[in-house]
Amino acid sequence: MKIIITGAYAIGTHLARLLSRNHEDITLIDPDPDRLARIGSDYDLLTMVADPDSIQALTDAGVGHTDLFIAVTPDQSLNLNCCILAKALGAHKTVARIDRAEYIEDDKRELFVRLGVDELIYPEVLAARDINNGLKMSWVRQRWDVHNGALILLGIKLREGCEILNRPLRELCGAQDPYHVVAVKRGLDTIIPGGNDVLQLYDLAYFMTTRQFIPYIRKIVGKEQYADVKNVMIMGGGNTAVNAVKGMPEYMDVKIIESSLERCEQLNDMLDSHKALVINGDGRDLSLLTEESINNTQAFVALTGNTETNILACLTAKRMGVRKTVAMVENLDYVSMAESLDIGTIINKKAIAASRIYQMLLDADVLNVTFLMSANADIAEFIPKENSKITQKPVYELGLPQGMTIGGLVRNGVGMLVSGNTQIMAGDTVMVFCHNINMKKIEKFFI
């Protein structure tokens, strides 16, 4: 597959590195040679110093026979223009990063397709959805709903009080049990567990279950004492914060602490109809946090543009008694450190956006691809085609590659867990978890 990416910024470079592992034909275009140089020489891709909206440059890059053209510069107008040009010059599919929420509304989609922009990616909206999923329950690091909750993935940090530590998973996750443990992050290692593996103290374990068994899982992991999130404090009033507030349930009361007075005024206008109190100040100011009743806050969300500030602010909030903290960590090098400091939920916009774009490369019918930042693993919803390999035998006879497991499936709107004897059928929505394995290798089971 031939892919052209314009914009050697955070999303573009991360996506280029991700895709280079699949040995795709990748060209990365940017007018700044220094930005291109920072991607390093260890990745199998071609870099091109040029203006991304230059017709000559696009032609020289082979846009006329490009399968996927991705424009992810910080400039929304430039991205849209590049996609329009690329489509006119013969690109098969185009994707543009945007920063205006109204563009992704359903009734606008056809307009952009007619212009030549097949898909729109708004990282701040994607990040906001992940934040709100994590805030639904104070005792989980991450929550992911499949088919409106037919299946639910819960990422949970295991602490003292957990009832299921140090027991083989074959005793805990049998065919009749209401959950499966599909991935475990232990220290720096990610484990796709088998029946002989055990859960240990301070593991970050990912449970696949159905909605009715969430209270049961909460009990066995010893989290019943955690208060539900009703009061949220957000540090940083950028677009991610705005989209998060707009998507929060009505019962949540929100305070936004923003250091810029001008931005505070903008936030008051933008969030006029939402229950959000905007406060001008520094979210690292302990006296301000105390004055704003952080002791009565169940969740603290740090969304400034500075990773170090976000990590330190979450550590401070935890010391002041906040159970649930969420940090925007844009520097991937800091993710492991943030996890080791027990920050809580970690959000990285470029990884979220890259996962969504990566989904577009797969030939199988894939509804969603999400990168589990803390676990360094991918999860995807595959829909097997008629007579695909995965429908031919029970799961235990399929010879699934190492690093891959199936957590559950949705059939006719009903979620169910998967055991070795499960027979997957065409049209099912199948939840796949993988670590250190090419997604292209996995999709061969479904097509």
pLDDT in tens, 189-199: 888 888 899 99
Please give the sequence-ordered ranges of beta strands (E in DSSP) within 296-428, or none if there are none.
299-302, 324-328, 345-347, 365-372, 377-383, 404-411, 414-417
Measure the CA–CA gap between 121 and 108, rounded to whole angstroms. 14
pLDDT in tens, 249-267: 889 999 999 999 999 999 9
pTM of the predicted model, to two decimals? 0.81
pLDDT at 63: 97
pLDDT in tens, 134-147: 888 888 888 888 87
| Residue 425 reports pLDDT greater than 90 | yes
pLDDT in tens, 371-387: 676 666 778 888 899 99
Measure the CA–CA gap between 258 and 302, rounded to whole angstroms. 11
| Residue 18 reports pLDDT greater than 70 | yes
Size of the chain, expressed as the number of residues it contains: 447
- How confident is residue 103, by pLDDT bands cut at 50, 70 and 90? very high
Decide if 80 contacts 116 (C-beta within 8 A).
Answer: no
Specify the 3-state DSSP secondary structure of 432: strand
pLDDT at 371: 65
Decide if 43 contacts 17 (C-beta within 8 A).
Answer: yes
pLDDT at 34: 92
pLDDT at 373: 63
Please give the sequence-ordered ranges of beta strands (E in DSSP) within 128-272, or none if there are none.
142-146, 151-157, 179-186, 189-191, 204-209, 231-235, 253-258
Beta-bridged to residue 327, according to DSSP, are 302, 346
Least confident residue range of 189-193, 246-250, 439-443: 439-443
pLDDT in tens, 312-363: 999 999 999 998 999 999 887 787 788 778 888 889 888 888 878 876 766 5
- Residue in the structure block whose two tokens are 């009061």: 231
Contacts of 320 (CB under 8 A, 6+ apart): 286, 289, 290, 294, 295
Measure the CA–CA gap between 203 and 21, rounded to whole angstroms. 28
Q: Which of 220 and 138 is assigned the larger pLDDT?
A: 220
Query: What domains does the chain contain, in order, with CATH numbers?
Result: 2-121 (3.40.50.720), 132-220 (3.30.70.1450), 229-322 (3.40.50.720), 352-443 (3.30.70.1450)
- Residue in the structure block whose two tokens are 């029970």: 394
| Residue 175 reports pLDDT greater than 80 | no
How far is the CA of 199 from the CAs of 38, 160, 401, in angstroms? 39, 12, 22
pLDDT at 375: 64
Q: What is the mean pLDDT of the chain?
A: 89
